[in-house]
Amino acid sequence: MLESGFTVRRSGQRYDCTAVDALVERLVATVERRSVGPDLTVADLRAAQFGTPMFGPGYAVEEVDNFLAEAERLLPARDGVAGQRAVAQSGRPVQGELTKPSFSRVRLREGYARDEVDAFVDRVLATVNGLPVDRPVTAQEILNTRFRTVRLSEGYDATEVDLFVDTTAARLDGMIGQ
């Protein structure tokens, strides 16, 4: 999933390790839906600033910046149907409402068929957000779902889709258990 493993430098361009570790911890908690404070947003990631240690070690700037750019894709997008509905009604997204994720597209390596993933995600979002849906999904159905893999046509990154499926199943299971 999220592997930070940054190179530690004693000189040159580097970020304060403690500040970077705190942001990464908050990012992981947001992605895994653990409550450790307010969820991290894409805007928070883009606005993150880290000091440079005067003396002592720090993380390689380029590695941290690349990691954060990749991590943006794992945070919930605010452009899904549910998110649009919430924004239209209140002027801002509703806290806790699941919005449509933005998966990376892959080609020439194994990915999931986009049409299958999109259709399933739409059903999941409708179920979790309490919208009308022909066939609401269950946590067990989410965990048992398998998507057709593609290699030559454009597909979605399988790791990102699997992470979404796992976190959504846990969320739906938690809703049912309440």
Mean pLDDT, residues 78-105: 53
Q: How confident is the model at residue 83 (pLDDT cuts 50, 70, 90)?
A: very low
Q: What is the model's pLDDT at position 87?
A: 37
Question: Do residues 165 and 143 touch, judged by C-beta distance below 8 A?
Answer: yes
pLDDT greater than 80 at residue 55: yes
Give kind and range of the element (H or E) at residue 74: none
Q: How confident is the model at residue 173 (pLDDT cuts 50, 70, 90)?
A: low
pLDDT greater than 60 at residue 81: no
Q: What is the model's pLDDT at position 174?
A: 63
Q: What is the model's pLDDT at position 156?
A: 93
Q: What is the model's pLDDT at position 150?
A: 94
Q: How confident is the model at residue 148 (pLDDT cuts 50, 70, 90)?
A: very high
Q: What is the largest CA-CA distance in the chain?
A: 61
Sheet of 8-9: strand order equals 8-9, 58-60, 14-15
Q: What is the model's pLDDT at position 177?
A: 47
Query: What percentage of the chain reaches a pLDDT higher than 70?
Result: 79
Q: What is the model's pLDDT at position 111?
A: 94
Top pLDDT among 125 and 110 is at 110
Domain ranges within the chain, ordered by starting residue: 8-74, 81-177
Q: What is the model's pLDDT at position 30?
A: 79
Question: Do residues 85 and 132 touch, judged by C-beta distance below 8 A?
Answer: no
CA distances from 177 to 7, 52, 131, 136, 170 (A): 42, 46, 19, 16, 10
Alpha-carbon span 164 to 112, nearest angstrom: 13
Q: What is the model's pLDDT at position 76?
A: 60
**C-alpha closest to that of 42 among 109, 110, 99, 90:** 99
The amino acid at residue 14 is: R
- CA angle (7 as vertex; 3, 11 as ends), nearest 5: 150
Q: What is the model's pLDDT at position 58?
A: 92
CB atoms within 10 A of CB 24: 19
Alpha-carbon span 168 to 142, nearest angstrom: 8
